[in-house]
Amino acid sequence: MTPEAWDIFVFFLKLSLLAVGGANAAVPEMHREVVDLRHWMSDETFSQGYALAAAAPGPNVLFVAVIGWHVAGAQGLAASLIGFLGPTFVLSWAVATLTQRLAGDWRLAALRSGLVPVAIGLILATGLVTAAAAARGTATEVGVAILITLVSTLFVWRSRYSPIWTLLGGGLIGLALLR
């Protein structure tokens, strides 16, 4: 393993268990370390990589792979993913083991039920924050953006069709009206 890949591995390993709330919660810390302190990436490359990871399908956590790739190629990519996801994998595994062993315990049942409203509230918050970030541009563009978000909300809430249609539709409306 190259020294850069090793540094990447250690950095993400340390960050992993601090990332409560997912990779997005750790992005400011990544920026501080990767751009400001170590100068591994320029500010522009960092933001561009983040935008790409957010636009691509799949969990946003894959942004760490972009950083790893940029700093140390294929080895860096593997090092960043294993470093960042390894500890959370082990912890989730341990928690799953514990919850299976305690299945039927009323305290565990209360814990699990109790976390549901908090988790759904946080999911709704993520949607609202990204909706606000996407509502930008001229007054008309903001209106179009909000309209796309509202229609998409209704579509996914009320219909059983795949959300891929609302994403595609949103993209096409964007192509026509958000330029």
Partner 1 sequence: MPKTVANPPEELPLNPPPGAAQLFAAFAKAGLLGFGGAQVWVRRALVEERRWMTERDYAEVLGLGQVLPGPNVGNAAVMIGRRFAGLRGSFAATGGLYIGPLIVLMSLVLLWQEFADDPHVGAFMHGTACAAAGMVIGNGIRMSGRLSPPPEQIAIGLLSMLAAAWLRVPLPVIVLVLGPISIAAVVWRGRRPQ
Residues of this chain, 156-175, that bind partner 1 according to CB under 8 A? 156-158, 160, 162-164, 166-167, 169-175
Q: How many residues bind partner 1 (CB under 8 A)?
A: 98
The distance of closest approach from Cβ of residue 30 to partner 1 in the complex, given in angstroms and rounded to an integer, is 14
CB of 66 closer than 8 Å to CB of 40: no
The distance of closest approach from Cβ of residue 149 to partner 1 in the complex, given in angstroms and rounded to an integer, is 4
- Pull the structure tokens for residue 170: 């949103």
Residue 148's Cβ-side half-sphere holds a number of Cα atoms within 13 Å equal to 27
The one-letter code for the residue type at 4 is E
The distance of closest approach from Cβ of residue 39 to partner 1 in the complex, given in angstroms and rounded to an integer, is 20
What b/e readout covers 86-98, taking b as 16+ CB neighbours within 10 angstroms?
ebeeeeeeeeeee
| Under rule CB under 8 A, residue 143 binds partner 1 | no
| Under rule CB under 8 A, residue 121 binds partner 1 | yes
**Nearer CB in complex with partner 1: 1/74:** 74
Binder of partner 1 out of 16, 37, 72, 140 (CB under 8 A): 16
Task: Tell me the CA distances in angstroms from 149 to 50, 55, 157, 171, 174, one per residue in order.
Answer: 21, 16, 12, 11, 11
Question: CB neighbours (10 Å) of residue 55?
Answer: 8
Residues 69 to 88: which contact partner 1 by CB under 8 A? 69, 77, 81, 84-85, 87-88
| Under rule CB under 8 A, residue 10 binds partner 1 | no
